[in-house]
Amino acid sequence: MSSTNRTKQEANNSRSGNTRQNGKGSVAHALLLTLGGLFLAGVVIGGLLLTYVLVVMTPQLPDLGAITDYQPKVPLRIYTSDHVLIGEFGEERRSLVKLDDIPADMKNAVLAIEDARFYQHGGMDVIGILRAGVADIMHGGASQGASTITMQVARNVFLSSEKTYSRKIYEILLAYKIETALSKDQILEVYMNQIYLGQRSFGFAAAARTYFGKDLKDITLAQAAMLAGLPKAPSAYNPVVNPKRAHIRQQYILKRMLDLQFITQQQYDQAVVEDIQVKTKGNNYSVHAEYAIEMVRQMLYAQYKEDTYTRGLNVITTLNSADQTAAYDAVRKGVMDYDRRHGYRGPEATVELPAPGDERDQAIDDALQDKPDNDDILPAVVLSADPKQVQVMLRNGSAVTISGEGLRLAAAALSPKAGKNLKIQKGSVIRVINTAKGWQITQLPQVEATMVSLTPQSGAIRSLVGGFDFNQNKFNHVTQAWRQPGSTFKPFIYSAALEKGFGPASIINDAPVSFPGGPGQPQWEPKDDDQPDGPMPMRTGLQRSKNLVSIRILDAIGVKYAQEFVTSHFGFDVDKTPPYLPLALGAGQVTPLQLVGAYAVLANGGYRVNPYLIAQVTDSRGAVLSKVEPQIAGQNATRVLDPRNSFIMTSLLQSVAQRGTGAGTNVLHRTDLAGKTGTTNDAFDGWFAGYQNSLVAVAWMGYDQPKSLGSREFGAQLALPIWTEYMGRALRGVPETQMPMPAGISTINGEFYFDNFTPGNGFIASLGLGASAAPVEIGPDGVPLPPAPAANPGAAPTTPQEDEKQNILKLFSGH
């Protein structure tokens, strides 16, 4: 090739190379321009967005007063006099606690799962956002959040939970604003008190009470980890509704705490195997006082209306936690003992059980769904049954085997001869209870009982149990049940008689008597539970609860006078205290609260005190809104009864408690107890009312729809055991105290007399013996001695005297 041609070829190659280089340069240049444009656009958009945030959104951020002056809705809280929380009412269950009072395990569990870098970031955790973003991409959508605790506080206090970009921006802005206004500890404290955790519980203190029945300071590491799992989704990880999912999340949180070195390996190993008992429906407090707290709620609502549930009112009641627990236990025991005496009534229901497996478990769950626990009385489904052994499954899925003494109550129901409605068999829904002697078959009782006690010097109610179980029957028998008091009313008739000249030594004839029944009515012939014993001292008449003695006394003093006396001195309602002779047997109507107040007059020396339950009310800041200034016996209370009267009545009632129908009190080995049994016609009601110098109490048992408690049941078997069970615990460590004898009382032959009513000086020595009756000699036990042989055995028997006949005819004379 010639040099000319080579030169042309090189020139062409050179132009071709330049062309290729220029082409590459223009592509790179275009790419740079594009990226630059995008960057510039991003800067512009970012600038506009930032301008929008600063100019438009930032000024719209709410004031932080809701946090800096944190005042959430706080429920009404009710405490005993020794400051034990017994109840709360409000749309939001919430207990405000200081951060320093929150256990370290609880704080660390929350930080581990919600925001481990809480103390390192400034409100928004960039590392956490990147981690969440990667997770979102890998899962193909928004599956993981990146909210810090501060952002959650911003959302919970100020924002909605909708998932929009604008709300997220507001959330971030608020988080930064909060971080500048509050310290980290203050933010965490708001979070721990504000977050919703299911079951109407806000804050971890309320949740601890709701799910575990504990104060937050008392929860375990395992329980703390379970609570920490709730903020993400309270419904999904609720240990009551979804125990399995709650357990899985709890295990994950414990592992996170271990990885972050918040806990040791040993702590972790112990916590992961802990058997957590979650409270289901029922009482969330250590002291059962449901009837009392409902009374408090109603009284507060009458004054504060809807503010009752939101302004954080704190009520201090007069209840003593130990006394209240003793009363609750005594009522439960008394009712269960009565129920066992009257036999097993059969299973509550029967269901078909599939073969063991998921289907059977579901059938058991369905069968127990509408069978709530009754404190320690639990529903169960029978898996197998024979006369020697019964296997049941409880609500929590655990199987229990019952044998021996545990089958005693239901022995007849396990017999092959048992009737269809009585028989316990596979699929039967029954009740069981775990006692000190092991598991036993039991049943829900149908009878009701009450116990109420108060301090007689002030009227402060120490315990109040309005029925066997509030969740089963909300009717408060202490305040709402108007029942015949039976022989517990007799002391008030005797008290009225003391003012008319009778005394403990008055001889009253315990003999048959009849009264006109009115136009067209048969004669009324009152009966007693035992045979008439003839003349006896009034002390013995009350001691042995003699009906005929009481009726003679009432007839002698006059029914109108007696009605006025017992209503004005002891506070009974006039319209429920009818002026006729059966009043002597307790034919009027009283409530247990009214009766305990009446006995307080006898116990405190003759003063009327008003029973009261609320001692003080404060607001959420501790300011006192109201405080009771009670009437105190011997100080500012009104005297309604002569101190001599209360002293002699106490002496009479101590005889009842030691040697009479109330002798069951002797199990307490005290000589300062006074009281009276009561049983109404056909044993519709069983009572015991009594007192010691520092405490007066009334126990009652009966059916809501009155019916006989049994032909062999009396107040001494029904109510007295409840009373002694309670008083034995309430008076533990309380020294014996005898009422001092007041002035104006004479002692003659070991018996008490009013100074103005002594033998031969206005004292009524006898009643119902006839004008010429021979003196009656009384034995040391108060029972009349047999009469000496007649001087003339052939003489005709003595007939009733005319003055006795006239006494009978005074029934409706109005005297």
Catalytic residues: 114, 487
Show the CA angle centred on residue 283, arms to residues 282 and 284, nearest 5°. 115
| CA–CA dist 234, 103 (Å, integer) | 21
Please check whether residue 286 is in contact with residue 128, taking contact to mean a CB–CB distance below 8 angstroms. Answer: no
Show the CA angle centred on residue 764, arms to residues 763 and 766, nearest 5°. 145
| CA–CA dist 353, 367 (Å, integer) | 10
CA dihedral 753, 754, 759, 763 (to 10 degrees): -110
Report the half-sphere exposure of 254 (CA within 13 A, side-chain side).
24
Q: How many CB atoms lie within 10 A of CB 382?
A: 23
Cβ-in-10-Å burial (0-12, 13-18, 19+) of 1 comes to exposed
| CA–CA dist 680, 750 (Å, integer) | 33
Contacts of 591 (CB under 8 A, 6+ apart): 478, 479, 480, 481, 482, 483
Q: Provide the token pair at 321.
A: 């936690």
Q: Which residues pair with 267 in a beta bridge?
A: none
- What is the distance of C-alpha 785 from the center of its chain? 53
CA dihedral 189, 193, 198, 199 (to 10 degrees): 150
Total residues found in the chain within this entry: 815
| CA–CA dist 504, 510 (Å, integer) | 15
| CA–CA dist 594, 485 (Å, integer) | 11
Per-residue CA distances from 489 to 98, 533, 566 (Å) = 53, 22, 10
Q: Provide the token pair at 397.
A: 């899925």
